[in-house]
Amino acid sequence: MGLTRRSRGRAGEIVLRERAGEYEIISNGMFLMDTRNGRSERRLVRWALQAGVQTRCDREPTAPRRLLLGGLGVGWSLAEALATTEVAEVVVVEWEPAIIAFNRAATGERTGGRVDDPRVRCILDDLVAWLRRPGEGEFDAICLDVDNGPDWTVAPGNAWLYGEAGLRALQARLAPGGVLGVWAAARSPTFEVALAQHFTTVRRREVPVPRGVPDVVYLAWGTPPADHSA
């Protein structure tokens, strides 16, 4: 057993623990995440950015891009964004101060997703509250990894993100041709239906994991035409 850091978080005690050179984050005794395998988190960002290039026919693929990350985690998704040279700015909205502190102390170094990178602006805020306020402009990609999925939220209020109001708010923050990506620990048929009601194109991609059902990455883009039948 190596480094252990304890912090009083917004929802209780958060612990950063080192095991054999890897880091784990535990909240109130429950395992949340670690630095051992960030494959699906990295693919969330990679696939969203790739889809965005394909959809923006009226813009140069090399144009500087802005990316919004909902949730910092151990930094895997941020690392993927920073590995993409076309990304000019990454805005990270993280509600737990301890997660940001752990990134600066250890996890960011391990994953390569450092909040102190000059292209990163890390905002300490609840994503739901932040989306409900005006400002910040548009993003070429928005990637959410704040819960274990639409059906397994960390906080009850996060359910708003996956419903009609939340999807409209996210859609409003996307630039023309922008792509929404959502990470989930399992498939959510209900969320797939909701996405299809707000976006013209919805894709579900699976990432195998060592044990259990595959992780899921949802990608959505395009605004359906307004219904003028009423």
Secondary structure (DSSP) of 77-128: HHHHHHT-TTEEEEEEEE--HHHHHHIIIIIHHHHS--TTSTTEEEEES-HH
pLDDT by residue (tens digit) across 101-110? 999 999 999 9
Task: List, in order of start, the domains of the chain with CATH numbers.
Answer: 37-221 (3.40.50.150)
CA distance 62 to 53: 9
pLDDT > 70? residue 230 = no
Q: What is the pLDDT at residue 178?
A: 95
The residue count of the chain comes to 230
pLDDT > 60? residue 161 = yes
CA distance 63 to 53: 10
- For residue 150, with 0-12 CB atoms within 10 Å meaning exposed, 13-18 middle and 19 or more buried, which class applies? buried
Q: What pTM does this model have?
A: 0.91
Query: Which tokens go with 90?
Result: 């990454």
pLDDT > 80? residue 60 = no
Category of 29 on φ-ψ map: left (φ > 0), alpha (ψ -120 to 50) or beta: left
pLDDT > 90? residue 61 = no
Query: Which tokens go with 183?
Result: 């990470």
Query: Which tokens go with 132?
Result: 């409900």
CA distance 146 to 154: 7
CA distance 185 to 215: 5
Q: If you average pLDDT over residues 126-147, what whole number do you get?
A: 92
Q: Which residue has the higher pLDDT, 150 or 210?
A: 150
CA 57 and chain centroid, separation: 25
Q: If you average pLDDT over residues 96-101, what whole number do you get?
A: 94
